[in-house]
Structures are given as structure tokens and as C-alpha cells.
Amino acid sequence: MSSSRILLVIGGGIAAYKTLDLIRRLKERGFSIRAILTEAAGEFVTPLSVGTLTAEPVFRELFDLTQEHDVGHIRLARDADLVVVAPATADLLAKMANGLANDLASTALLAATSPVLAAPAMNPTMWAHPATRRNVAWLEAQGVAFVGPEEGLMAERGESGLGRMSEPLAIVAAVEARLRPAAGALAGRRVLVTSGPTHEPIDPVRVIANRSSGRQGHAIAAAAARAGAEVILVSGPVALPDPAGVTTVHVESAREMLAAVEAAPPVDVAVFAAAVADWRVAEDAVQKIKKGAGGPPTLTLVENPDILATVARRTEGRPELVVGFAAETENVLDNARAKLARKGCDLIVANDVSAGGGGVMGGARNTVHLVGSGGVESWETMTKDAVAEALVTRFAAALRPRP
């Protein structure tokens, strides 16, 4: 699964102004972007605008000692999961097709090993020219992907035809189709995700908590939203920002989490990634419990509602797909299988959260096992974002197709 780093090569065409919006749209979706500005591109947009939007240094010169020392043109090309050329001018396409390497952009393009997506933009006569036709055909044959150009009015007065650069959102869709194959897969679906720990009050200042950071649940909510779903995230107390494009409901305790889940509109997929406390204090104190002569207080615990089982066993309004999470410290798979049967859900995502499990709780990476009625599938260790993307692809595939 891709970690979604884009090398953006900006060519010297008037459409470079649209590339500024493209950067913003890609950043909104969580891509990290390094940009190379050709000399001609610098006539159309400033390095300041590009650098401010990418929040990265802007790369311009092949023979720049500082940048060559810090990153280097080969690493710049190799570090990316996708190279996007926008606008891809006639000149840049000609250089790419002929293997020229006489500036930073063309050298990086020649050194790149990741897939390349080009968004051409030029006057229709230039696009129709046999030299451009030949260059594009050759590049396509080498696996370079193209988005656009589109029909429309040119910057030149009165001219129209095939040559306009595709709109930023069309380029974003082409990027996502390559880096996030799940994009659009959940369009028209509603997804509920719970995430984070719960806090069970002992008194007004003390709680029973757990180490869940919410990173995996939040990543799933964000990935489902990117896949086109309407997403409701019910989050326990976490130190994470609300994901973009997601309706987030903040709760503290297990009972509040259940109430928020019950109040949500019907959903197609429900993912219970939150680490809900199994027990709460039978009666939390109204005033702060004072340290006193009576010694430490005795806390009587009672069981919390089982949110996963409550939803999985609904007779009416059950989501088509109910997914539970099992954080285990031992016998990960056996416990997950037992949980699948006990809760009545469709899938359990199991992970090892013991000290030997690689610091999953609060960490950035996760090793998960998918336990379903068909058996167990163990995935390699990935970032939590990559796990989220892959899970969302799974959820989309498991849903009955809509007529």
C-alpha cells in the first residue's frame, strides 16, 4: 500500500496557475508533495506560492549545492510513489520522450522509477502536431498515464480546441485511482466508525482509561471518506484532529459511545475500532474522592454495554457489514475467532497489542489479521494509513453491488 508521496513537476504553461489549486486539493486528501518548478514555470507561478502550499522546499536547480546535498536529484525522483507532471508542456513531453536531461525536471523524470501521470496543457495546434502526437504515443507505450487534455477555450484570445489542462479535481481523481485504488469504491454508502479509548469516570477528576490513541480508527474514517462514503466517526477522547470530510461525534464513556452509535442514521458498514472499556465504576462519586484515614477506596466495577454485539445482533437496521476489532496480548487468532462467533459480527480485525507486538497502541504501524467465516488472512506490517486503505477496499468488495 502506498504512503502517497507525490513528486509534482510543474512545466512552463499558463495552466500552472491551476496547479496551485491542484496542490491544495491533494494536500487536503493527505498526500505529501514535493514540487519541481522548471525555469519557464517560474514565469507563471512563484516558488513562494508553491512552497507555501506544499509546505516543502521547492526544487528548481540541478546544480544547487544545498539541495543536491540535502536531497539530491536522484533521491528526489526515487522517493515518490507517483510523479505528476502538470502542466505537461509540449517541451516537457518532448524531453521525456527523447530522454533529455538538461535541467532538474527532465533529469528527475529520467531518473524516476515510480509511475508517471501527465496532465498536458498546450495550444490545440501544438497538441495536434505530429511531433507531439509521436511523443505522446511513445510515452503511452512506455506506461506513462495521461489525464486530459480537455476541449475548451484557450488562454489565447478566441482560440478553442483540445489542449486545456484537466481541472484539478479530475487530476486528483486520476492520482487517487493510482495511489488509492479504493477511491470512489464507497460512493453512496454510509459508514460508521468508532475510535479511540473510552474514559469511565471514577469521580469528577479521575477516570479509568486505556492506551488506545485512535490512530487506526481515525485512519479508517478518513480512508472511507476518501473512498466516497458519508462517514460518521464516534470518537472517544483522543489527541487527534477530526478527519477532513467526516462528521465526528465526541464522547467520553462507553455508555455515551453506545448512545451516539444508536443515534446515528442507518449505515452500510459499521467498524468498531474503539477500545471500549469493558467495565465502569458501579457508581461514580459526585465529589472528588479525598485521600483520607479510611485508606484507598474500593471500586466496584460493573460491565459496560457491548456496543459491537448490540449492533451486530440487531434484528432491524443491521448494517450490511459489521466489523469488530480485537486487540489481544496473547492467543491473538484464537481469541479473535471466539470473538467473531460471540459477537455475531462479519469480520474481526485482530492485532497483537502486547509489548512484543511492536508498539501498536499509539504507534504508526500495525500488523493485522482478518478473521472471517472463511478463515484468517494475515497482512504484512503496514502503516495504519495503509491498513485503513486496504480495509476500506475490502469493505467495498464485501458489500452487495447496488442495482
Ligand X SMILES: Cc1cc2nc3c(=O)[nH]c(=O)nc-3n(C[C@H](O)[C@H](O)[C@H](O)COP(=O)(O)O)c2cc1C
Lay out the site mask for ligand X across 56-75 (x = CB under 6 A, - = otherwise): --------------------
Closest separation between CB of residue 96 and ligand X, Å? Answer: 10
* By CB under 6 A, residue 392 contacts ligand X: no
Q: Which of 1, 23, 33, 38 binds ligand X (CB under 6 A)?
A: 38
* By CB under 6 A, residue 148 contacts ligand X: no
Place of cell 452500510: 268
Closest separation between CB of residue 64 and ligand X, Å? Answer: 17
Residue placing its CB nearer to ligand X in the complex, 18 or 337: 18
Q: Which of 122, 224, 254, 332 binds ligand X (CB under 6 A)?
A: 122
Closest separation between CB of residue 38 and ligand X, Å? Answer: 3
Task: Classify 261 as helix, strand or coil.
Answer: helix
* By CB under 6 A, residue 323 contacts ligand X: no
Alpha carbons within 13 A on the beta-carbon side of 183: 13
* By CB under 6 A, residue 185 contacts ligand X: no
Name, in order, each residue with C-beta under 8 angstroms of 310's C-beta and a sequence gap of 6 or more: 258, 261, 262
* Cβ pair 245, 227 in contact under 8 A: no
Grid cell at residue 7: 513528486
Alpha carbons within 13 A on the beta-carbon side of 270: 27
Q: Distance between CA atoms of 256 and 260, rounded to whole angstroms?
A: 6
Tell me which DSSP letter residue 52 carries: H
* By CB under 6 A, residue 40 contacts ligand X: yes
Give me the active site residues, please. 210
Closest separation between CB of residue 48 and ligand X, Å? Answer: 18
* By CB under 6 A, residue 90 contacts ligand X: yes
In 71-214, which residue ranges form alpha helices assigned H by DSSP?
A: 73-78, 90-98, 104-111, 124-128, 130-141, 168-179
Angle, alpha carbons 307-308-311 (nearest 5°): 85
Residue placing its CB nearer to ligand X in the complex, 122 or 182: 122
* By CB under 6 A, residue 92 contacts ligand X: yes
Closest separation between CB of residue 10 and ligand X, Å? Answer: 8
How many residues bind ligand X (CB under 6 A)? The answer is: 16
Q: Which residues lie near ligand X (CB under 6 A)?
A: 11-15, 38, 40-41, 87, 89-92, 121-122, 126
